[in-house]
Amino acid sequence: MLFYVLAAVAAIGVVLVAARLMRGTPDPHPDGPAAGHSGAMLAALFLLAFAIAVVVPWSTNDAARQNTQDEGRAVAEAYWTAARLPSPARERVQADLRRYVDLVRGGEWRLMAEGRLSAEGWAYLERVRREIAAAPAADDDAREVRSAALERIREVSAARRQRAVDAATTPPPGLLAITVLTGLAVVFFPFLAGARPRGAALVPLATMAALLAVGLYLVFDISRVFTGALAVEPDAFDNVAAELRRVPAAGG
């Protein structure tokens, strides 16, 4: 952050030196070339920062939604593969996978709005992994089933780790700060340039300020994947939970 401040101070210093050294026609008017150029550049900078601050969370949101689908699919495949394990490992593994899904779509989803996952979820997966590894395998087919079940659990764990990354991901703080600062500069620039709008002239300026405020609120509202207007919902795990409830009736 210090380097950003130093860069800004240096740029201001360059402008002041140039103003002292360069000769030309004085430009004291609010609608003069200097004010027009500065206003256009401020608006362009704000639009650039605002666009990046919206696009980055949007892209992260899409990736996180796809990852929850992948994790849910991996849990379902692990559940079906576990149906081929010998008893009682089969029942214990399937019960723990159902509990895992219920945990994720319930309490853990609320934690993800804060950018973190529950330790209990990791404990469930570790317990499932141990139960599968300890399942007896008397022949090659049984060993193949055990290996396949362990691979499915590894896929669930990998997707869960990615979900942890997604939950903690936010746009760079500097980007959010620049978006806010340039937005404020756009609003106050006419006054800084010497304009003193009155009456009806304040209406478009106030409208612009209101829309900018809404836009800045949106930027912060969507900065986390699992909360806000674009929040990823636990639909994938809701669907998996419904599927797992149907498995016993299907003879799994």
% residues pLDDT > 90 (the chain): 37
* pLDDT on residue 190: 75
Q: Is residue 59 part of a domain?
A: yes
Q: Is residue 198 part of a domain?
A: yes
How far the first Cα of the chain sits from its last, in Å, is 57
Who wins on pLDDT, 237 or 205?
237
130-141 burial, b at 16+ Cβ within 10 Å, e below that, comes to: ebbeebeeeeee
Q: Is residue 65 part of a domain?
A: yes
Q: Would you call 122 exposed, middle or buried from its count of C-beta atoms within 10 A (0-12, 13-18, 19+)?
A: middle
Who wins on pLDDT, 194 or 129?
129
Contact predicate 192/140, CB 8 Å: no
How far is CA 193 from its chain centroid? Answer: 38
Report d(CA 50, CA 58) in Å as an integer. 12
Query: In the predicted model, what is the mean pLDDT of the chain?
Result: 82
* pLDDT on residue 129: 94
Q: Is residue 81 part of a domain?
A: yes
Who wins on pLDDT, 235 or 27?
235
* pLDDT on residue 163: 94
Q: How many CB atoms lie within 10 A of CB 162?
A: 17
Answer yes or no: is pLDDT of 250 > 50.
Answer: no
Q: Tell me the per-residue pLDDT of 106-130, one tens digit each, with 9 for 90 and over.
A: 999 999 988 899 999 999 999 999 9
Answer yes or no: is pLDDT of 203 > 70.
Answer: yes
Contact predicate 179/50, CB 8 Å: yes
- Determine the structural domain holding residue 245 and report its residue range: 31-250
Count of domains forming the chain: 1
Question: If you search the block for the tokens 């756009």, which residue do you land on?
Answer: 186
Count of CA atoms in the C-beta half-sphere (13 A) of 7: 4
* pLDDT (average), residues 222-239: 90
Low-confidence winner among 5-19, 55-69, 71-85, 116-130 (lowest mean pLDDT): 5-19
Contact predicate 163/236, CB 8 Å: no
Q: Is residue 246 part of a domain?
A: yes
87: left (phi over 0), alpha (psi -120 to 50) or beta: beta
* pLDDT on residue 71: 95
Question: If you search the block for the tokens 């087919």, which residue do you land on?
Answer: 141
Q: Is residue 9 part of a domain?
A: no
Q: Is residue 87 part of a domain?
A: yes
Q: Tell me the per-residue pLDDT of 76-96, one tens digit each, with 9 for 90 and over.
A: 999 999 999 998 999 999 999
How far is CA 24 from its chain centroid? Answer: 50
Contact predicate 61/225, CB 8 Å: yes
How far is CA 248 from its chain centroid? Answer: 36
Q: Is residue 102 part of a domain?
A: yes
* Confidence category of residue 195, pLDDT binned at 50, 70, 90: low
* pLDDT on residue 230: 83
